[in-house]
Amino acid sequence: MIIIAIVKVLEGSTITSVDESTIDCRHHQLVCIDGEGYIDRVVDESEPDFSSIKDEAVKADQLISLNPDEYLLPGFIDLHVHAPQWPNAGVALDRPLNEWLDTYTFPLEAKYQDVSFAKLVYDNLVEELVGNGTTTALYFGTIHNPANLELAKACIKHNQRGFIGKVAMDNPAQTPANYRDASAKSAVADTETFIKQLTKLSQNAAIKQTPVITPRFVPSCTPESLKGLGELAKKYDLPIQSHCSESDWENGYALENYHKRDSEVLDQYGLLTDKSVMAHGTLLNQSDLDTFKSRGVAVAHCPISNVYFGNAVLPVSKLLQQNVKVGLGTDISGGYSPSLYQNIRQAVISSRMLKDGVNAALDPNQRGTQIQPISAKNGFYLATVGGAKSLHLKTGQIKAGYLADLQVVKSPLASFGEESADQIFEKIIYHASKADIRQVFVQGRLAKGRIK
């Protein structure tokens, strides 16, 4: 048996999800991190060896003590980021989705043929996401492999775990002439090239980067490219990401052109597996959800973006009740904020509006739905455990044997008396900003802040 030595011990109060509706808050614990970046042990102050472990950590100069108003939380997992769209975050969100893509998004993404531009943007984006407590991100890149490799280099530089996809989009009827794959054959071949390039780049990195099969969505791909990408996913046993039933326009495209649901088209080509993450899903029906559950597909819920482009509200509590995997995504730039805290808040708000309804002209009994709203605890679960399960990562909880992906968060509001653990937790979820996230660790490595 190989024993891996402890290299860091974090001392302080911890908050972690137990399940989708329960959190565990502990006032004083030691989180012991080994040399491989895993949590070796979590020691409560009530345990008999708490003091001796702390003393040993002090002697070895391994102890990092949190302030009384700081709390240790799991790092967040962002399941849907369009990395090249970062310069447009918050731009033209009043436009319909297809117009927004054609007028703003595709022209911006075409600029990433310039590797120096890609390097500039991606370095800033990854640093920003880490600064907001995001320790793992699932990224759409562009069609340009040199630019996609710059995104991976930025993740390695900033100690973030990246899942990165070379976007495939070869349908000339739905993509601009200056920004598309030349053919289905080249879309698939370039994806395979990127898989090999990223695997090589990541080989000696402390935090591994993972290639992802990435058909942009059904409208932008031909049947030939969808088929080839499904075969690649199987060949290399890789994650898959795309959009599914995001809007009336996208949902309607599959029905009009394939006479099938979005999910049926993706499934037909082997793109719905237990390693698939499908963004949005606001218009998924029960048949789609049954398919997702049976295949093990995860949904990336993007609550801010869905307000602008989703044409509906994802019934999160329904998916959780049916054991469909769900996590959170910012969907930069359809979502304007790089903060998953902001997206947790919007997820809760949207769920309440779905339950209560929004049309005041209707009778209260007819105005809303039977879909139950979610809570801050549900949202916290989505941003941590939900994301981890979606990506098959052993992280998202402060627990022995789990990756030490952690954020140290200062309580953002003053306390005016004794507060319960739930009150402290809710104030953090509803008020924390980037400035309150003092340190971030990914696989035990410092990604933001400094050691005290």
The domain limits of the chain are: 6-74+395-448, 76-391
Cα separation, 211 vs 209, in Å, equals: 7
- Cβ atoms of 249 and 280 closer than 8 Å: no
Q: Which fold has domain 76-391?
A: TIM Barrel (3.20.20)
Cα separation, 69 vs 72, in Å, equals: 10
Residue pointed to by tokens 């708490």 = 50
Q: For residue 259, what are the contacts with CB-CB under 8 A and spacing of at least 6?
A: none
| 313 residue type, one letter | V
State how far the alpha carbon of 392 is from the alpha carbons of 73, 101, 164, 171, 369, in Å.
20, 31, 15, 31, 33
Cα separation, 402 vs 384, in Å, equals: 12
Residue pointed to by tokens 């050691």 = 451
| 357 residue type, one letter | G
Which residues of the chain are modeled with pLDDT < 50? 1
Helix%, strand%, coil% for the chain, nearest 5: 40, 25, 35
pLDDT, position 1: 46
Burial 84-105 (b: 16+ CB within 10 A, else e): bbbebbeeebeeebeebbeebb
Q: Indicate the pairing of strand 445-448 with strand 437-442.
A: antiparallel
Is the CA virtual torsion 327, 330, 335, 336 positive or negative? positive
- Cβ atoms of 198 and 149 closer than 8 Å: yes
State how far the alpha carbon of 135 is from the alpha carbons of 89, 155, 159, 396, in Å.
20, 10, 8, 10
Q: For residue 332, what are the contacts with CB-CB under 8 A and spacing of at least 6?
A: 81, 82, 83, 85, 86, 89, 125, 338
- Cβ atoms of 130 and 434 closer than 8 Å: no
CB neighbours (10 Å) of residue 301?
Answer: 32
Is the pTM for the entire model greater than 0.85?
A: yes
What tokens were used for 313? 């509200």
Q: Is 364 exposed, middle or buried (CB count within 10 Å of its CB: 0-12, 13-18, 19+)?
A: exposed
| The CATH number of domain 6-74+395-448 is 2.30.40.10 | yes
